[in-house]
Amino acid sequence: MRNLYIAVAAFFLLCVFLFVGSFVYLDKEKRKTYHYTVSLDGRPIGTIRIEKFDTEEMHLYKTVSNTPLSPLYTDSKSRLALDRKYVIETYEKDSVANGVSDTVSLERSQDSISFVSRYGPEFAYTDHIPIQKYTFVFDEHSPETYLPLIENFDFRRGKSQGFRALIFFSKEFPPVSRFVTLTSIRDEYIPIDSRSVKAEVLLLKIRNYPQMMLWIAKSDRSLLAAELPIEGIRFTRTFTPKTPDAIAPNIFSSAYASRPVSIRNRMANISGTLSAPAGSAKNPAILLVWGEGPQDRDYQGIFSHMADYFSKNGYCVLRLDKRGVAASGGEYGSATDSDIADDLNAAIEFLSKQNEVDPHRIALIAHSRGVFYALKMMGGKKLAQAVVFIAPLVCLSPERNELTDRLNMVSAKLALGPDYMKLASMSIQDSIDKAVSSTRNWLLAGGRRVFVKNLRERRASNPIEYVKNISVPVLVLQGREDDVVPIDYSQSLIDTLEGGRHNNHKLILFDYLGHFFSDKIWDGRERIHYLPDREALDAVRRWLDSALSGGLEEAPK
């Protein structure tokens, strides 16, 4: 009898083993994993892992990317779900920068798609994107979105074949519907690790977008490589993935000393770095104010280089991690413009009390959206003795909207067409309506939690009055190659100052500079960062030297 029990138990265990093993086998058959190296200008900057699952109900693609050498967003996760006929069900992508995540998502409901983009305290939403039956999703920086197109390309027929897809071009606006054309042009062998693999080369074309190239394995039709020539980016298949190390740019001089600081505010402790010239003298000081996004104290290298430049030229410089970003406390996603302005007020007060600082010679240098933060922060108070506004992202016309102006700039570049402009305008209005009608600080949009308090607050603000209340000298810098801020924003700011009887302001236009006033630095070792234009820095320093020494007469209050 004992032997019978043993035999039954052994049989039971064998059945369990076979049962579990069958699932492992089936999972292995239905799941495929692809690894890619991400290169910029021929140098590796990160890795991507794509997992594809085929079930009875859907095709599912999951992607994890890690690009530590990127200037801001270094990690992302995405999930694309299509039904068995490759019709979109959902698409989600989370991008991470300095510990903060931005999210974009699509979800199908019958014949339309809902879109939600959540980036910090701001969001975009609409549930009115019309969709035809066979419509794909395409994001040029997410190679998992290439796979469904490749899987539906008829390699036996070859030549050119078109697919309708929703194309992402901005986190602020819904994707645009465009045709993606794949054209087979030749066969060639390409190196994959230590092997040489035969591939079919496809051209990928989208109207008004740079042409791309894809290399598809002849053996199993898998994606071997993709190239974005205009950006210098290439994804290459690898069987030995290795994420490169990110080395921080080494900016150091014995002419000054830098130390970490922590600034206590009511709701959050704000972390930063204070740089001060060597010696015991009282020095003029600068507070640097970043633009949009989850920015840390280095501001993608712009502020670390500015701190180096101005500290060598006799200035103390304070740069901060934005609230909820990097080492600063608080929550980034729910922070309003008033919260940021409050943090900057605390920073000015902190700066004025430092032994190295002359409290009567403090200036602000603000970039992009930071100009709005600075204007709101000052609010008629003389917290600084001079201000410099670079590429000011502040719309002073009551009849205009910053998002609409930015949409018009993109439309001129990509020829988006009247139907899309109507859809994007509807998205802008949908977002505003949701924010204004809500009595809470957050709500659900397309199943996603978004914060609305900041949008309500910004709608109620009056930046014209902020500008009119400025009583200290103002320098405005604008690049003619700026593709983010319309050039007339700077002129409008100057006109408003003149209308408020402000007599110490100056506008300098730089023909050759864009939004960041910087050159991108990439040596293959250090994290990609930006080096501010020396001519622009020299112009700011000369102006500040005069403004803070009494060389510029203060404007009447």
For residues 140 and 147, give the distance between their C-alpha atoms in angstroms, rounded to a whole number: 12
Average pLDDT for residues 3-23, to the nearest whole number?
49
Residue 275 in any domain: the answer is yes
Assigned token pair, 225:
């490589």
Phi, psi for residue 380 in degrees, rounded to 5? 85, -10
Residue 218 in any domain: the answer is no
Domain containing 387 — which CATH number? 3.40.50.1820
Residue 107 in any domain: the answer is no
Q: Per-residue pLDDT for 551 more than 90?
A: no
Q: Per-residue pLDDT for 27 more than 60?
A: no
pLDDT at 421: 96
pTM for the whole thing?
Answer: 0.92
Are 337 and 376 in contact, with CB atoms under 8 Å apart? yes
Are 308 and 315 in contact, with CB atoms under 8 Å apart? no
pLDDT at 110: 79
pLDDT at 85: 92
Reported as a single tens digit per residue, the pLDDT across 54-80 is: 999 999 999 999 999 999 999 999 999
For residues 277 and 279, give the distance between their C-alpha atoms in angstroms, rounded to a whole number: 6
pLDDT at 26: 38
pLDDT at 18: 44
Q: Per-residue pLDDT for 2 more than 70?
A: no
Average pLDDT for residues 154-172, to the nearest whole number?
95
Query: How confident is residue 3, by pLDDT bands cut at 50, 70 and 90?
Result: low
Are 322 and 329 in contact, with CB atoms under 8 Å apart? no
Q: Per-residue pLDDT for 555 more than 60?
A: no
Assigned token pair, 139:
């994001």
Query: How confident is residue 100, by pLDDT bands cut at 50, 70 and 90?
Result: very high
Distance linking the first and last C-alpha atoms of the chain: 104
Range of the domain at 386: 259-391+462-548
Helices vs strands, H then E, count in the chain:
11, 27
Q: Per-residue pLDDT for 176 more than 90?
A: yes
Residue 320 in any domain: the answer is yes
Per-chain mean pLDDT for the chain = 92
DSSP secondary structure letters along 167-199: E---TTSPPEEEEEEEEEEEEEEEEETTEEEEE
For residues 72 and 450, give the distance between their C-alpha atoms in angstroms, rounded to a whole number: 22
Q: Per-residue pLDDT for 279 more than 70?
A: yes
For residues 129 and 424, give the distance between their C-alpha atoms in angstroms, rounded to a whole number: 9
DSSP letter, residue 554 = P
pLDDT at 128: 86
Query: How confident is residue 522, by pLDDT bands cut at 50, 70 and 90?
Result: very high
Residue 101 in any domain: the answer is no
Assigned token pair, 472:
């200290």
Tell me how many domains the chain contains. 1
Reported as a single tens digit per residue, the pLDDT across 392-414 is: 999 999 889 899 999 999 999 89
DSSP secondary structure letters along 199-220: EEEEEEEETTS--EEEEEETTT
**Strand ranges of the sheet holding 269-277, from the earlier edge strand across to the other edge:** 256-264, 269-277, 316-320, 283-289, 357-367, 386-390, 474-479, 505-510
Residue pointed to by tokens 């009849």? 399
Q: Per-residue pLDDT for 4 more than 80?
A: no
pLDDT at 250: 86
